Amino acid sequence: MKFFADTAEIEDIKKLQESGLLDGITTNPSLIAKSGRDFKEVIKEICGIVPGPVSAEVASTDFDTMIKEADVLRKLADNVVVKLPLTVDGLKACKVLTSEGTKTNVTLCFSANQALLAAKVGATYISPFIGRLDDINLEGMQLIRDIRQIYDNYAFSTEILAASIRTPNHITEAALAGADVATIPPAVIFKLADHPLTKSGLEQFVKDWKGTGQSIL
């Protein structure tokens, strides 16, 4: 499974990139607003740090303006992925951009039928929102399983990008369900390495080593 960080915070991105755990980045208007910076400047800076895909979302909702915005976004850097809403206009824009060789991420997916439409228009990624479905007492992970089955049935190349991830358990479950990518808040990525038995075991190893009076160096 590939790991994308769902953030526009430059310091977190640098730290993750240095760790070797990062395969790409997703952003959205809310994350950009939180950064308080110019949208295009942020995207260009992120693309300079991360060589993998960086999703940059259009801000409009009509087809014509989406295409104009997408043209600006894809010129920011070679690794920009244009992020589009899962609407009829968004799907239409996805078809046009895909036919031109631009990578796309269709976002705000909440049903298997929506994911099927995105695959039919050639989306590079589909972003089903797990956490938001869980919030309304629906099983978000079942959506991942349903999409995986449908895509496998027809050999669609669209990658399943599990989004709206809230906990480390979400990542385990998404991996078991066959998601190709998980886009994850940086804090959750760092939590993946934590385990109380790892911590206590390491403390014991360090203590025992000190007791030998030896040094490797």
Query: pLDDT by residue (tens digit) across 78-104?
Result: 999 999 999 999 999 999 999 999 999
Alpha-carbon distance values, 82 to 98, 114, 144 (Å):
10, 18, 22
Q: How far apart are CA 24 and CA 79, in angstroms?
A: 9
Tokens found for residue 98: 């895909």
Q: At what angle do helices 140-154 and 168-177 cross, to 10 degrees?
A: 30
Enzyme catalytic residues: 83
Tokens found for residue 193: 């390495």
Which tens digits make up the pLDDT trace of 175-214? 999 999 999 999 999 999 999 999 999 999 999 999 999 9
Q: How far apart are CA 159 and CA 181, in angstroms?
A: 7
Which tens digits make up the pLDDT trace of 18-74? 999 999 999 998 898 888 899 999 999 999 999 999 999 999 999 999 999 999 999
Residue 8 above 90 pLDDT?
A: yes
CA angle 189, 191, 195 (to 5 degrees): 140
| Beta bridge partner(s), residue 24 | 4
Q: What is the pLDDT of residue 36?
A: 87
> Domains (ranges, CATH) in the chain?
2-212 (3.20.20.70)
The answer to whether 158 and 133 are in contact (CB under 8 A) is: no
Which tens digits make up the pLDDT trace of 149-179? 999 999 999 999 999 999 999 999 999 999 9
Report the amino acid identity of residue 195.
Answer: H
- Average pLDDT on 11-21 reads 95
Q: What is the pLDDT of residue 34?
A: 87
Q: What is the pLDDT of residue 35?
A: 86
